[in-house]
Amino acid sequence: MRRGLRLICAVMVCLLLVGCGEEPEKSRTIFAMDTIIELHLWGGNAEPCSDALVSLFQSLEQTWSPTVETSLLARMNRGEEVTLTPEEEALLAQVEALEAETGGAFHPRLLALSQAWGFYSRDYRVPTQQEIADALASRRWDLGAALKGYAGTQAAALLEEMGVDRGILNLGGNVLTFGTKPDGTDWQIAIQDPDGDGYAAVLSVSGTMSVVTSGDYQRYFEMDGVRYHHILDPETGYPADSGLRSVTVICADGLRADALATALFVMGPEAGSAFWREHPDFEAVFLCSDGRILATPGAKLSGCVYEEIGYAQ
């Protein structure tokens, strides 16, 4: 309930910030990939394109959801023999490359661990050390930390192919921009305040770009006065406790943006900044637990006081 409310609020904030005089030619809200997806498209083909996007998201869910019993991922997790299309093979290869690049902070095989914490069944509990060890050893696939970003980039290719002029998609907090706003200015994307339903900062973004946020407020439970969230540290098996409330990554490649947002959240502000210095092909905004906001120099941030992350340490 609380999560649903937050998602709706996030969507509303995004909508408020679209704020332009011209109405979108096609706006649509759907539920797919376990999230609320908002589409706003402008241009001649907006209507058929919105139908094509719905099919795309449903098909990605049918292939990659670990909880759809007939999905490719579920069959892989059961150890069944599967034949992958070149596209499916490429996605898994990219995901494995991101795991290696982030030193395992982005870990696409944590399904059993998330299940042990009850994040799938919503029957929340703190697992024992033995359960954590068993869950980590089972290495069952879960692309939940990267699939929405991947979907965003697939969606952008579809918008391009179908000749849509411009658009903005919000996949449960994963935002994809396509082109500029109708008045030619940048999109304004809100970064949610982790403690409220307002926003902590605003990002200006243009062109085909993914803006992906991982935050400790997106899915969590409380037990005996302790708050446990859904982004797990593969080293401890516990929710990452790295001094962050959220990380937003801005990157042209949605899969990369999504995987890195999760990984940087696990790494924390210092290691995350060091990672960016070594791989400066994206921008990032860190909302720290102590209230500081850190941003890479290319992030076009407003509406907040922040410290710029330096190129040299």
Q: Give the start-end residues of each E strand in the chain.
A: 26-32, 35-42, 166-171, 174-178, 187-192, 199-205, 209-215, 220-223, 226-229, 244-251, 283-288, 293-295, 301-302, 307-308
Binding mask 185-214 for ligand AMP (x = CB under 6 A): -----------------------------x
Residues of span 102-141 touching ligand AMP by CB under 6 A: 106-108, 110, 114, 119
Residues of span 257-276 touching ligand AMP by CB under 6 A: 258, 261-262, 266
Nearer to ligand AMP, 46 or 191 (CB): 191
Nearer to ligand AMP, 167 or 237 (CB): 237
The answer to whether 187 and 289 are in contact (CB under 8 A) is no
List the one residue from 11, 145, 200, 267 that touches Mg ion (CB under 5 A). Answer: 145
CB of 214 to ligand AMP, least distance (A): 3
Burial 161-193 (b: 16+ CB within 10 A, else e): ebebbbbbbbbbbbbbbbbbbbeeeebbbbbbb
CB of 199 to ligand AMP, least distance (A): 18
Kindly state the tokens that stand for 122: 């919503």
| Angle at which helices 254-267 and 147-161 cross, to 10° | 160
Residue with tokens 């540290």: 233
Could you say which of Mg ion, ligand AMP, none residue 210 binds, taking C-beta under 5 to 8 angstroms by partner kind?
Answer: none
Kindly state the tokens that stand for 123: 């029957």
List the one residue from 234, 252, 300, 304 that touches ligand AMP (CB under 6 A). Answer: 234
Nearer to ligand AMP, 249 or 299 (CB): 249
**Is residue 216 a contact residue for Mg ion (CB under 5 A)?**
no
| Residues making contact with ligand AMP (CB under 6 A) | 106-108, 110, 114, 119, 142, 144-145, 214, 218-219, 230-232, 234, 258, 261-262, 266
